[in-house]
Structure 1
Amino acid sequence: MILKETVELKLLTQESLTRGLIALAKLDSDLAHILETLGNPPMWEREAGFPTLLRIILEQQVSLAAARAVFNRLCGIVIPLTPENFLILDDVQLKTIGFSRQKILYCRGIADAITSGQLDLTKLETMDETTIRSELKRLKGIGDWTVDIYLLMALQHPDVFPKGDLGLLIATQKLKKLAARPTPAELEAIAENWRPWRAVAARLLWHYYLSNANGKSVTVYQ
């Protein structure tokens, strides 16, 4: 019987990522196989703040390549990319960059919340996960997936798991040789075995998913 490692981590680092990978390899032979064949996954870290939150909004329901293209065009026009500067752009400018009407609404709402003082992303970094989730989900367009990705990549929480992520669902079906793609609830149940390193497991599964994409443009996040 393998006993799970007890960890009290605030942030995931390269050192703790390595610890997590070793622990997961002991807990799950399928994850161990990914590690053996593909090596360590990228850290996939992003700087906390408005630009990253906006980029995650852009990544909802589209390929990462498409979202990155829109984000890069935005960064080429809005320098620096602050909430105040973003709010200067009108609908025509944002649609020309590649924003949908819905994402214009969401990103403007986030920018307004920050400039009005309703949302303080710096203070958010010191809060517990439940409070962070509650604060962010008050804003239109931000659901659990968006919060999960922000917690996982920007705030480097070690045990966050975006159960509704399409890439993770596809990767788990293939890795576990399941007859059908698991539901988010079923994936969450599978991921229970990966505590307290679920954010590391997510990185391993994305690593595996991308390795099976055969160079095609794929959507990692849903």
Structure 2
Amino acid sequence: MIVAPSAEDLFAARAALVALDPALAHAHAVTPAFEWRTREGGFAGLMRMLVEQQVSTASAAAIWRRVEAGLGEIAPAPVLAREIEDLRALGLSLPKARYAHAIAEACATGALDFAGLRDLPDAEAIARLTAVKGIGRWTAEIYLMFCEGRADIFPGGDIALQEAMRWADRAERRPSEREAAARAELWRPHRSVAAHLLWRWYGGVKRGELSRAR
């Protein structure tokens, strides 16, 4: 079970981030208090992330309902009991159906152990996840941040984060994944809070609720 940081802890981390990097001062100043984002973990949580990738929120919700109804239980055994075409009939693309099988197989064989994953350092946990076909680095980092509540993760490949970093640095172009990850090193040990802050700022600007300029 994730023990989410309190509002006081999050505010303290945000203040520490601004002290570490004044480029975050505007984002911190205009972004209201927020809660730590949490999601269901384990096989079901990872499956849902797989379903949601590269589709709209509405489409993801509709496909997930079909997957839940079709499988009965979101677990490795029901997935492995179905052929790839059966999974496609539930709304999964061919690659996603194959990835679902690969992840279920890794869980069934013990190659992927969610309970043991929690005891691994961040880098080892990411390596363990990305060793499974269908789990990229972004997915692994998002899983560890939202499903395990890890405090010092930064998914540098996230486009929204890259764009918010560009705004913060007043840069002409977005940083690459490698550049974003290197830039975020300054924010240790609060990189997950920095990601939350930048996401909330980015979303608020896109909705017209927050200011981008300073």
Normalised TM-score (structure 2) = 0.84
For 1:27, the equivalent position in structure 2 comes to 20
Report whether the alignment pairs 1:84 with 2:81. no
SS of the equivalent of 1:212 reads helix
* Paired residues of 1:172 and 1:205 also in contact (CA < 8 A): yes
Quote the Cα distance in structure 2 between the aligned partners of 1:95 and 1:180: 38
For 1:167, the equivalent position in structure 2 comes to 160
> In structure 2, do the counterparts of structure 1 residues 65 and 32 end up closer, same or farther at CA, with 3 Å as the change threshold?
farther
CA offsets 1:126-162 (integer angstroms, 9 cap, x no match): 2222321222122111121111111111111111100
* Alpha-carbon RMSD: 2.4
Quote the Cα distance in structure 1 between the aligned partners of 2:100 and 2:134: 8
Quote the Cα distance in structure 1 between the aligned partners of 2:148 and 2:78: 24
Aligned length: 206
* Paired residues of 1:11 and 1:156 also in contact (CA < 8 A): yes
SS of the equivalent of 1:150 reads helix
Normalised TM-score (structure 1) = 0.81
Quote the Cα distance in structure 2 between the aligned partners of 1:72 and 1:23: 41
The amino acid of 1:196's aligned partner reads P
CA offsets 1:17-62 (integer angstroms, 9 cap, x no match): 3331221233334433223322123311112201111122234344
SS of the equivalent of 1:39 reads coil
> In structure 2, do the counterparts of structure 1 residues 12 and 192 end up closer, same or farther at CA, with 3 Å as the change threshold?
farther
Q: Which runs of 5+ in 2 are unaligned?
A: 209-214
Q: How does 1:4-83 map to 2 (within 5 A)?
A: 13-14=5-6, 16-83=9-76
More helix by share: 2
The amino acid of 2:88's aligned partner reads K
Match of 1:105 among 98, 106, 110: 98
Higher relative contact order (CA 8 A, sep 6+): 1
Q: Which runs of 5+ in 1 are unaligned?
A: 1-9, 216-222
